[in-house]
């Protein structure tokens, strides 16, 4: 925790400490730093994306929020080190950055309360990556964790694929029996079910199990899933400048990123800091490093990605 005040802002040692922690966050792709505001003071740009607790007007409230945040982070680390008995997940992304507050919201909605949550946003905004990251981080709280792509497919096709993934032996049975058997398996244990990229509410709702299953959905539009509470719905947006810079550091290294920072950030702006475009661009730049400023002028049309 970084306790921020005018004195902290002037301290060279404090700056050395928090910049070192930020570097570790980038290299390890994990959250390490929270910010507690003690008195009014300008916050450096690199710290503006950190989890922030305002204790300026109510120290006791700030203390309680700080302790709660530390406990939640501790629990998420513990869960990440524990393996669920039944894991049906793709490999996690190695370039995940930021999104700390989103992970905390999902933790509260799906681990603490065993409810439903929705991540929505434009194509390429990182909804699926965030959902998968949470599934890997939170798997220790569940008996089974299942990630199921949906897309523009009928529920019968999705249910058949899910039943085959779970090895339920009902592949030749009628669709309604496959759905019933799959839902019975899911509710028979504490399960986290991720339904990724839902296009039609009335189609996929037939596959949704009841308690004790925790359900995480991703969709392009919030309006497609009105039966998920607004409180547990989050719009996934483009990267901040700091998050985009973190991706370049992961792919290109600190030295190259520092040397060509302005050119790289200009490229990120040209692709509207869309996460998938920044990642694909950074991966291309990794092989076009001579010289970086010219390589970073890749036209948007040359960056192809799904959606």
- Beta bridge partner(s), residue 55: none
pLDDT greater at residue 200 or residue 64:
64
| pLDDT 10s digits, 132-167 | 999 998 888 899 999 999 998 988 899 999 999 999
Q: What pTM value is reported for the model? A: 0.72
28-32, 74-78, 226-230: range with highest mean pLDDT = 226-230
Name the percent of the chain in helix, strand, coil, to the closest 5. 50, 15, 35
Residue 306 has pLDDT above 50, yes or no: no
Calculate mean pLDDT across residues 225-239: 89
Is pLDDT at 300 greater than 60 in this prediction? no
User: Which residue, among 116, 228, 208, 124, has the nearest Cα to 158 in the 3D structure?
Assistant: 208
The predicted pLDDT at position 181 comes to 93
Average pLDDT, the chain: 84
Short-list 131, 118, 122, 155, CA closest to 234: 118
Please say if the pLDDT value at position 290 is more than 80.
Answer: no
Question: What is the mean pLDDT of the segment spanning 242-271?
Answer: 88
Residue 30: per-residue pLDDT: 63
What is the pLDDT confidence band of residue 171, given thresholds at 50, 70 and 90? confident
């Amino acid at each position: 925790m970084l306790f921020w005040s005018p004195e902290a802002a002037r301290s060279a040692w404090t700056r050395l400490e928090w910049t070192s922690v930020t570097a570790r966050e980038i290299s390890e792709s994990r959250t390490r730093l929270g910010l507690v505001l003690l008195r009014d003071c300008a916050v450096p740009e690199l710290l503006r994306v950190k989890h922030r607790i305002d204790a300026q007007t109510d120290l006791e409230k700030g203390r309680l929020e700080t302790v709660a945040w530390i406990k939640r982070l501790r629990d998420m680390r513990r869960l990440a080190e524990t393996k669920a008995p039944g894991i049906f997940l793709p490999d996690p992304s190695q370039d995940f950055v930021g999104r700390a507050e989103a992970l905390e919201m999902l933790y509260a909605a799906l681990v603490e309360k065993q409810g439903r949550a929705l991540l929505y946003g434009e194509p390429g905004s990182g909804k699926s990556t965030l959902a998968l990251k949470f599934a890997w981080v939170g798997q220790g709280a569940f008996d089974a964790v299942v990630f199921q792509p949906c897309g523009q497919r009928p529920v019968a096709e999705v249910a058949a694929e899910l039943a085959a993934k779970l090895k339920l032996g009902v592949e030749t049975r009628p669709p309604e029996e496959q759905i019933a058997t799959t839902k019975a398996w899911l509710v028979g244990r504490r399960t986290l079910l991720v339904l990724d990229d839902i296009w039609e509410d009335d189609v996929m709702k037939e596959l949704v199990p009841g308690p004790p299953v925790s359900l995480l959905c991703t969709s392009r539009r919030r309006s497609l899933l009105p039966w998920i509470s607004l409180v547990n719905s989050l719009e996934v947006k483009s990267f901040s400048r700091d998050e985009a810079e973190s991706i370049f550091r992961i792919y290109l290294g600190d030295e190259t990123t520092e040397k060509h920072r302005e050119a790289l950030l200009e490229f990120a702006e040209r692709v509207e800091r869309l996460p998938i475009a920044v990642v694909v661009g950074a991966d291309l730049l990794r092989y076009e490093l001579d010289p970086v400023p010219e390589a970073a002028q890749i036209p948007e049309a040359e960056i192809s990605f799904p959606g």
